[in-house]
Structure 1
Amino acid sequence: MAITVSIELNRELEIPGGYDEVFDLLADVPRSASHFPKVHKLTDLGENAYRWEMEKVGVDKHAIQSVYACKYHSDKDAGRITWEPVKGEGNGVVSGSWTIKSRGDNATAVKFQTSAELTVPLPSLLKLAISPVIKHEFNSLVDTYMNNLKKAF
């Protein structure tokens, strides 16, 4: 048996760096991912697609690991970076975008939006109990990621 947990996240922040350097960091997936917490392994699948393998969370047979892959597209002139799921990779389906706008020479406003569906091998009885835990963990990881990005500048 398995349960699927859906997560939607939106964040807005201002990064104390110029547009070009912020865009270039976010568009460089390995560099950007180095600021994301609890990434066990990031694998380059070619053609700007990457498989994310997160650290396991939980204990023994109840440990959960999210694995997913996305293909990334960046458009510097439009200030957008998007990602879409790569089919058949892992137990997660993730899509989303960055919207990036200059706020002068030393400030850049960014909007982060992502949608994820994670399928985990747990009995459906546990969905009510485990769903909030998974959502909380994902929110916490993204909040730490945002803070780490700010610190990078």
Structure 2
Amino acid sequence: MAFTVSIEMNREIELAASYDEAFALLSDVPRSVSHFPKVDKLVDLGDNAYRWEMDKIGVDKYSIQTAYACKYHADKETGKVTWEPVKGEGNGLVRGSWTLTAVDDNTTRARFHTSAELTLPLPGLLKLAISPVVKHEFNGLVDTYMNNLKKAF
């Protein structure tokens, strides 16, 4: 048995970086992911697609590992970095975007949006107990990522 947890989140941060510097970091997937916590492996699938394999969480038979793949597209003129799920890779479907706006020469506003559907290989009756924990963990990871990005500049 398995169940799916849906997550949607939006964040906005200001980076102490020029638009060009911020775009260079966020559009370079391996470089950007290096600031994301608890990534076990980032696998290059070619054609700007990557599989994220996260650290395992849990205990014994209730240990799970989230893995998903996304294809990335960067458009510097519009200030967007987008990602779409690669089906058939892992147990999650994740899509989202960064939207960048120059505030001034040394500050860039970065809006982050993502939605995820994670299928967890656990008994369905655990869904009510586990779903909030998974959402909390995912939010915590993204918050740490945002803080790490701010520190990078």
- Alignment partner, residue 19 of structure 1: 19
Counterpart residue type for residue 116 of structure 2: A
**How far does residue 41 in structure 1 lie from its aligned partner after superposition?**
0.1
- Deviation, 1:61, is 1.0
1:105 is displaced (CA, Å) by 1.0
- Find the aligned partners of 2:95 and 2:108 in 1 and give their Cα distance: 23
| Rounded Cα–Cα distance in structure 2 between residues aligned with 1:95 and 1:59 | 28
Partner of 2:7: 7
CA distance in 2, matches of 1:59, 1:134: 14
Distance 2:63 2:103 in 1: 43
Alpha-carbon distance between aligned partners in 1 of 2:31 and 2:138, rounded to the nearest angstrom: 20
Q: Distance in 1 between matches of 2:64 and 2:32?
A: 24
Structure 1 residue 24: Cα displacement: 0.5
Corresponding residue SS for 1:87: strand
Find the aligned partners of 1:116 and 1:123 in 2 and give their Cα distance: 20
Deviation at 1:60, TM superposition (A): 1.3
Kindly state the Cα deviation for residue 98 of structure 1 after the two structures are TM-superposed: 0.3
C-alpha root-mean-square deviation of aligned residues, in Å? 0.4
Secondary structure at 2:69's aligned position in 1? strand
User: How many angstroms apart in 2 are the aligned matches of 1:16 and 1:66?
Assistant: 32
| Greater than 4 Å deviation, 4+ residue runs | none
Residue aligning to 1:126 = 126
Amino acid of the structure 1 residue aligned with 2:98: W
For 1:147 and 1:13, how far apart are their aligned partners in 2? 9
Partner letter of residue 38 of structure 1? K
Could you say which residue in structure 2 is the equivalent of 1:59? Answer: 59
Deviation, 1:28, is: 0.2
**Is 1:89 matched with 2:89?**
yes
Please give the per-residue CA displacement for 1:38-60, whole angstroms capped at 9, x wherever unaligned: 00000000000000000001011
2:70 is matched with which residue? 70
Q: CA deviation at 1:67?
A: 0.2
Corresponding position of 1:38: 38
Q: Which structure: greater strand fraction?
A: 2
Could you tell me the percent identity over the aligned residues? Answer: 73
- Tell me by how many angstroms 1:37 deviates: 0.1
Tell me the secondary structure at the aligned position of residue 146 of structure 1: helix
Supply the distance in 1 between the matched residues of 2:63 and 2:150 (Cα, whole angstroms). Answer: 31
Count of residues paired in the alignment? 153
Unaligned runs of 5+ in 2: none
AA paired with 1:135?
K
TM-score (norm 2): 0.99
Matched, 1:135 2:132: no
